[in-house]
Structure 1
């Protein structure tokens, strides 16, 4: 039983008494009398036994807290904030849904130190959605408004229905994107007057530098993509839209600038379009390959990369694919890994010496412990649609805690992808130094790898 139930009954009874006797309202004030302040021999204290709560332990919950086993609360009745011999029961009020999907917040491993680290988690399901016109799509974002410590990068998740547009626009931040499902046509013009158009599908990537105007249109099956920007405070509402540029310049100036009659501008949009339905793109992409005297953007500086066709590297517990400026030159400072982690496997404990890490959980569920010096550690539970953020050189891992393959997108602001492996560091350090530091035996040290595994089986 929960202690808030008797309180609720008391409140409802009081309401019933007032509504049943409106004539007595003057003798039944909204506020109590002075005898309720402090001690009075006539006061009574409600008695509710909070020690008789019915609950279940999850497998591993009574083990040593420092072992830190993953606790699956999904099928556990009334999970409690208990680890081994630490913690205690929670009579409520509480939200059991949050507790069940965040077991490492309800019952943290003994190696955690509370909430001293940054909040390294944001579920996109808590982001407000901007709805496109006439059911053409939607957009939602993550930035420092909701994740204050994520200062280097921000994310936008966008869906366009078939033929839907993300209208012609540009912004002051660089835009890196990966297609999550479906396909779309992307188009741009650079400052040299060179043009670009390409079709991209699930797993493919594009990049637009700051200030380069571009558009995105979904093809016949619609599209969803994740955009990553190189400014943590970036918001989709702060883009420069073609509709707004036209709406906020005098028509006389526009007609002079474009070399057209003012009457031709009478039907331009009065308000921004942002996401809106359009005419389906022609099947033959060459119909939209418009060029001027400068021609097309050179292939080695193209704005798209067909990442879906790059084979993954097979690992002990999953796979990895890396894309960075060494293979995609135009996307300067965007270095990215797509990692798959099999059930029970984990992205090894690592850190990035030259960049923060912005991570999007594409599929599955997992957990990670963020360690920040001198001694702060917090474990987070992530699900598909969540964003994680790990500051530069702060160690972390990602463990698959579900029954399906976990897929994560790791994004760095670096000129090439790199990380430091805890296991490899220990394995390549002279044994005597490690023994003197960590009290590990020669037998134990002989089992530690000297190679970077990336994903441990």
Structure 2
């Protein structure tokens, strides 16, 4: 799994402090192949949603503490169930204390950050950890939390279980206290009204402010908490995804999963880190209980989503792009490179990761049933290899390009 951590660091080149981070990367940009040019998106039928977002083309918004960009139904209408944010923090940059109605599942792509989460309850349990590349956190709805960049900065991808959510609309402590009456704030904080008016500017919303770069250890930070928690949390909010044994590992790649069975606090969302060997295919499949939001860390992937008879979409995802597969939709992903691995983060809007692969579907019935369903011969049904794995290695039977596929010959082309 060490190669996964190294390739995750490629994403560090997307953050504003990349010049300071590049020296730390084993994999430089010239070692990552440019996305393979492909045809326009193809549409069969007239009601196909767009399940690919050129998120790599969306410019981030710059704040004193770092940069931010979001993906939700406003700029990615095909993703109604899951939204996301890509946040880069400078050393000392702070995603200020805030909370929101949505669940947050996040993975650190590069660098190091420190995060604190506060749960509800009379004993006020709280938890603070340092997170490195490949680490995941999970915050339940309306749990107060913050994230601060440590040296040399960090970039993290956060997913939310609401396709309309945008992180700048979270309830934040800066906006709240600069809006509330000074008399109320003074009484609530045990200070004078004059101190409030001198130190808290009215109508202030900092979002990503820049503070001092922290040089304190995690233990020192915990020791200086103004009001220490009376008890620790029952379930940790941190998971070391890049260090777990992959749930699936073949010559075609691996799938490492963080879900409620190995990350018990994450009851409403789960996620995965996927490696695609050159030319490898993520087996044709669907998820019975959740949608899938996709982010390409590096490389270029062909993708297809099947919604119902006559409604099918196919396209390409490059580095930094996002994709989506609605719950129950049949879909697949394939590395278009013949010599470079591709890595992807998957985010799901359910705490349990479930899927049904094509070989499993058609292999659990008599070959005559399979042949009848596919309108083909029994000989073909008996020739199928029903043991093809979840991550399928490149094979001579699989084409290296989807260009000119006869299955999309009647499609209506539209520009991207």
- 1:428 and 1:166 map into 2 onto residues whose CA distance is 49
Q: How much has 1:317 moved relative to structure 2?
A: 0.6
Q: In structure 2, which of residues 200, 208, 223 is the aligned counterpart of residue 275 of structure 1?
A: 208
What is the CA distance between 1:348 and its match in structure 2? 0.7
Query: CA-to-partner distance for each residue in 1:60-82, whole Å, 9 max, x for gaps?
Result: xxxxxxxxxxxxxxxxxxxxxxx
Cross-structure match for 2:276? 341
Helix, strand or coil at the partner of 1:125: helix
2:251 alignment counterpart: 316
CA contact (8 A) 1:316 1:453 kept: no
Q: 1:395 to 1:439 in 2, by over 3 A?
A: same
Contact 2:256 2:274 (8 Å CA) reproduced: yes
> How far did residue 230 of structure 1 move?
0.8
The structure 1 residue matched to 2:104, chosen from 163, 175, 186, is 175
CA distance in structure 2 between the partners assigned to 1:190 and 1:230 by the alignment: 19
How far apart, CA to CA, are the structure 2 residues paired with 1:262 and 1:155? Answer: 39
Partner secondary structure for residue 174 of structure 2? helix
When residues 333 and 379 of structure 1 are mapped into structure 2, their CA distance, relative to the original with a 3 A threshold, is: same
Contact 1:117-1:370 within 8 A present in 2 as well: no
Which residue number corresponds to residue 238 of structure 2? 304
Within 5 Å, give how 1:363-378 maps onto structure 2: 363-378=298-313
- The alignment's TM-score, normalised by the length of structure 2, stands at 0.80
Deviation at 1:448, TM superposition (A): 2.9
Q: Distance in 2 between matches of 1:406 and 1:384?
A: 9
Give the C-alpha shift of residue 263 in structure 1.
Answer: 2.8
Q: What residue number does 2:349 align with?
A: 413
User: Does the CA-based 8 Å contact 2:36-2:336 persist in structure 1?
Assistant: no
- SS at structure 2 position matched to 1:280: coil
Cα pair 2:105 2:270 within 8 Å, conserved: no
Q: What's the TM-score, normalizing by structure 1? A: 0.73
1:245 aligns to what? 176
Distance 2:66 2:171 in 1: 19
Larger radius of gyration: 1
Give the equivalent residue in structure 1 for 2:397.
none
Q: Which of the residues 120, 123, 144 maps onto 2:51?
A: 120
Note the C-alpha offset of 1:382.
0.6
Segments of 4+ moved more than 6 angstroms = none
Partner in structure 2 of residue 429 of structure 1: 365
Q: Please tell me whether residue 145 in structure 1 is matched to residue 74 in structure 2.
A: yes
1:329 matched residue in structure 2: 264
Structure 1's 115 and 366: CA in aligned 2 closer, same or farther, altered over 3 A?
Answer: farther
Aligned to 1:264: 195
Q: Distance in 2 between matches of 1:354 and 1:334?
A: 11
* 3-state SS, counterpart of residue 380 of structure 1: strand
In the alignment, which residue of structure 2 is the partner of 1:394? Answer: 329
Aligned to 1:255: 186
Contact 1:185 1:200 in 2 (8 A): yes
Highest RCO, 1 vs 2 (Cα 8 Å, sep ≥ 6): 2
Report the CA distance shift for 1:132/1:115 in structure 2 as closer, same or farther (over 3 A). farther
Report the counterpart of residue 83 of structure 1 in structure 2: none
Cα distance, 1:288–1:447 mapped onto 2, change above 3 Å: farther
State the superposition RMSD in angstroms: 2.0
The whole-number CA distance in structure 2 between the counterparts of 1:179 and 1:405 is 20
**Alignment partner, residue 162 of structure 1:** 91
Contact 2:297-2:344 within 8 A present in 1 as well:
yes
Using a 3 Å threshold, how does the CA distance of structure 1 residues 394 and 319 change in structure 2: closer, same or farther? same
Match of 1:191 among 120, 123, 131: 120
Q: Quote the residue 2:26 is aligned against.
A: none
Q: 1:338 to 1:115 in 2, by over 3 A?
A: farther
User: How far apart, CA to CA, are the structure 2 residues paired with 1:122 and 1:105?
Assistant: 13
Q: CA deviation at 1:115?
A: 5.7
